């Protein structure tokens, strides 16, 4: 009952903020809260035929604070509808926050598994964390279980960093992994529990651990099978930048390996960064009834400049992306096929033209999908790409450096003044394809069918002039160039 009142109160606060919100940077087809702060995606699940996504949410403020779980659902992964807040903190089991976690369909009962956050000394950020569950029969209102906390405390060799349960079922047993820090090494690791009923959990042991180079804490772990291998995905805090890699404050990446449930042995290769833009973190996945493994991340980064705070909101999730594994064990990430439902007007522009220099395609829309392909088999150019131009100074640049074989995203003239360029190696074959989604204040680049992705927030303030396709240093054949104006699902 108390929870219900807290939820109503939070909904009222959201309603109030919504009325005065500045819409200039609001996204047209990404998941956002109705107003105020969001961070990680939580509880991705398909339940009774619909897709549900929850998210870390502070309904009272544009800054992070006592975490609630916001909630949206969709029939098609494209058109989302806001539902009432699912979890509000303030009970004995989650006094200062309902932190990240996951969701499972337990025989028709939608069960959320989440971390309770508790300050013992808030000013000095001294806290403890435990694990809890909440259940729902209708997928809308949730009741916290009387058994909470279902896990009260971490194992003895653990620090107080003990959060973000990801739960799945294998054969007849539930498994839970948690992001954790070992006391001895003060480094990140993932630990495993198992249960027959989601309420009583038995500690199994460490599933994977940093070798010293993977940061001090591993947040938001996920573990699943993909194309015959096991993937451990996680968001390490505290990895050192290494050339073009790990340039954000915190990273998201994965290990590929083989796993044995009997022995809890996970033999894996090295850590691979998952996206190379500025704003991609805390990714979670789920599998749906089409047997796809779908990932959604938070499309922002801790401590980044977030200009929409002045507008009364902050934070968004990435597009849903389907994951596949290549034969050399790299993840391919591509937008789910349903996203073509967003397409409105189609424009077929300079396909099969040889270009050099700059070619402006006039387009004032700010919700776009662009598909470009450059034929590199006979090019004399040194770099090819496109710029999303404003009418005066502003531009966001996606460029492929042919000699260096590097894909680059430059947001220095689109709202990221410092630390504005991200680069990554991308093997050049005979072509480079770029599938780009622009949504007012975001850009997501999928290069060569998902071999590389770059995700960043941008904050352009000028009217849009168009898309400038370019080739530097010589000529290139544009083998494909189409774009679409996309629908605003929130209007
Ligand atoms: C990751 C994270 C999680 C935590 C949540 C709190 O971004 O720090 O580890 O549960 O955010 O909002």
Question: 194 — phi, psi (to 5°)?
Answer: -140, 160
pLDDT digits (tens, 9 = 90+) for 9-54: 999 999 999 999 999 999 999 999 999 999 999 999 999 999 999 9
Mean pLDDT of the 439-462 span:
98
Mean pLDDT of the 362-376 span:
97
User: Which residues lie closer than 8 Å to 5 by C-beta, 6 or more apart?
Assistant: none
Pocket test for ligand 1, best of 113, 117, 163 (most atoms within 8 A of CB): 163
pLDDT digits (tens, 9 = 90+) for 460-488: 999 999 999 999 999 999 999 999 999 99
Query: Per-residue confidence at 3, pLDDT binned at 50, 70, 90?
Result: low
Q: How far is the CA of 127 from the centre of ligand 1 (A)?
A: 14
Query: Per-residue confidence at 2, pLDDT binned at 50, 70, 90?
Result: low
Please determine, for residue 331, whether its predicted confidence score (pLDDT) is greater than 50. Answer: yes
Percentage of the residues of the chain whose pLDDT score is greater than 70? 99
pLDDT digits (tens, 9 = 90+) for 114-130: 999 999 999 999 999 99
Q: What is the length of the chain? A: 491
Mean pLDDT of the 223-227 span:
98
CB 222 within 8 A of CB 192: no
Token pair listed for 388: 């999303």
Query: Cα(first)–Cα(last) distance of the chain, in Å?
Result: 33
Token pair listed for 60: 């009272």
40 is catalytic: yes
Please determine, for residue 281, whether its predicted confidence score (pLDDT) is greater than 90. Answer: yes
pLDDT at 352: 82
Q: Which stretches does DSSP call E strand in 299-342?
A: 313-314, 321-325, 331-335
The half-sphere exposure of 344 on its side-chain side, counting CA atoms within 13 A, is 10
pLDDT digits (tens, 9 = 90+) for 80-96: 999 999 999 999 999 99
Q: Is 67 helix (H, G, I), strand (E, B) or coil?
A: strand
Q: Is 33 in the pocket of ligand 1 (CB under 6 A)?
A: no
Pocket test for ligand 1, best of 219, 248, 301 (most atoms within 8 A of CB): 219
Mean pLDDT of the 332-355 span:
94
Chain centroid offset of residue 486 CA: 21
How many angstroms separate the Cα of 185 from the Cα of each of 159, 189, 204, 236?
A: 10, 10, 20, 15
Q: Which stretches does DSSP call E strand in 243-316?
A: 253-260, 265-268, 272-273, 281-287, 293-298, 313-314
Q: Is 301 in the pocket of ligand 1 (CB under 6 A)?
A: no
Among 1-5, 73-77, 353-357, 374-378, the minimum mean pLDDT is found in 1-5
- CA separation for the pair 477, 360 (Å, rounded): 16
For ligand 1, atom 9, the nearest C-alpha belongs to 219
Pocket test for ligand 1, best of 282, 315, 317 (most atoms within 8 A of CB): 282
Q: How far is the CA of 170 from the centre of ligand 1 (A)?
A: 26
pLDDT at 428: 83
Mean pLDDT of the 283-287 span:
98
Q: Is 251 in the pocket of ligand 1 (CB under 6 A)?
A: no
pLDDT at 289: 97
Secondary structure (DSSP) of 126-140: EEEEEEEEEEESSSS
Q: How far is the CA of 427 from the centre of ligand 1 (A)?
A: 34
Token pair listed for 254: 């994965």
Q: Is 274 in the pocket of ligand 1 (CB under 6 A)?
A: no
pLDDT at 1: 44
Percentage of the residues of the chain whose pLDDT score is greater than 90? 97
pLDDT digits (tens, 9 = 90+) for 394-445: 999 999 999 999 999 999 999 898 999 999 999 988 999 999 999 999 999 9
Average confidence score pLDDT of the chain: 97
């Amino acid at each position: 009952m108390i929870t219900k009142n807290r939820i109503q109160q939070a909904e009222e606060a959201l309603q109030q903020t919504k009325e005065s919100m500045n819409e200039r940077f609001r996204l047209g087809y990404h998941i956002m809260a109705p107003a105020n702060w969001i961070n990680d995606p939580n509880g991705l699940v398909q339940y009774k035929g619909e897709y549900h996504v929850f998210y870390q949410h502070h309904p009272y403020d544009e800054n992070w604070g006592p975490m609630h779980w916001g909630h949206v659902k969709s029939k098609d992964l494209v058109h989302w509808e806001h539902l009432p807040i699912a979890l509000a903190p303030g009970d004995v089991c989650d006094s200062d926050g309902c932190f990240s976690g996951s969701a499972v369909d337990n025989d028709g009962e939608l069960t959320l598994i989440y971390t309770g956050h508790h300050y013992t000394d808030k000013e000095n950020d001294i806290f403890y964390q435990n694990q809890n569950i909440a259940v729902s029969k209708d997928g809308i209102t949730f009741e916290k279980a009387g058994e909470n906390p279902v896990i009260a405390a971490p194992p003895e060799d653990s620090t107080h960093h003990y959060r973000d349960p990801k739960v799945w079922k294998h054969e007849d047993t539930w498994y839970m992994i948690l992001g954790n820090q070992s006391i001895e090494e003060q480094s990140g690791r993932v630990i495993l529990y198992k249960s027959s009923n989601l309420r009583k959990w038995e500690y199994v042991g460490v599933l994977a651990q940093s070798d010293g180079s993977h940061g001090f804490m591993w947040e938001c772990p996920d573990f699943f099978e993909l194309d015959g291998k096991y993937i451990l995905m996680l968001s390490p805090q505290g990895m050192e930048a290494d050339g073009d890699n790990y340039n954000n404050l915190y990273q998201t990446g994965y290990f590929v390996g083989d796993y044995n449930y009997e022995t809890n042995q996970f033999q894996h290769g090295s850590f691979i960064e998952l996206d190379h833009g500025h704003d991609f973190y805390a990714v979670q996945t789920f599998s749906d009834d089409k047997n796809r493994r779908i990932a959604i991340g938070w499309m922002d980064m801790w401590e980044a400049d977030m200009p929409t705070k002045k507008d009364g909101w902050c934070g968004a999730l990435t597009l849903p992306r389907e994951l596949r594994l290549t034969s050399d064990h790299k993840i391919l990430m591509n937008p789910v096929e349903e996203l073509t439902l967003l397409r409105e007007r189609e424009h077929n522009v300079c396909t099969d033209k040889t270009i050099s220099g700059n070619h402006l395609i006039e387009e004032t829309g700010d919700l776009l999908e662009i598909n470009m392909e450059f034929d590199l088999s006979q090019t004399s150019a040194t770099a090819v790409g496109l710029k999303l131009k404003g009418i005066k100074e502003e531009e966001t640049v996606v460029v492929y450096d042919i000699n260096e074989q590097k894909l680059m995203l430059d947001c220095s003239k689109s709202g990221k003044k410092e630390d504005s360029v991200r680069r990554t190696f991308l093997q050049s074959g005979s072509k480079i394809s770029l599938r780009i989604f622009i949504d007012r204040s975001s850009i997501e680049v999928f290069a060569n069918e998902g071999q590389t992705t770059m995700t960043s927030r941008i904050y352009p303030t000028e009217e849009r002039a168009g898309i400038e396709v370019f080739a530097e240093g010589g000529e290139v054949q544009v083998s494909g160039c189409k774009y679409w104006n996309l629908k605003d699902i929130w209007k």
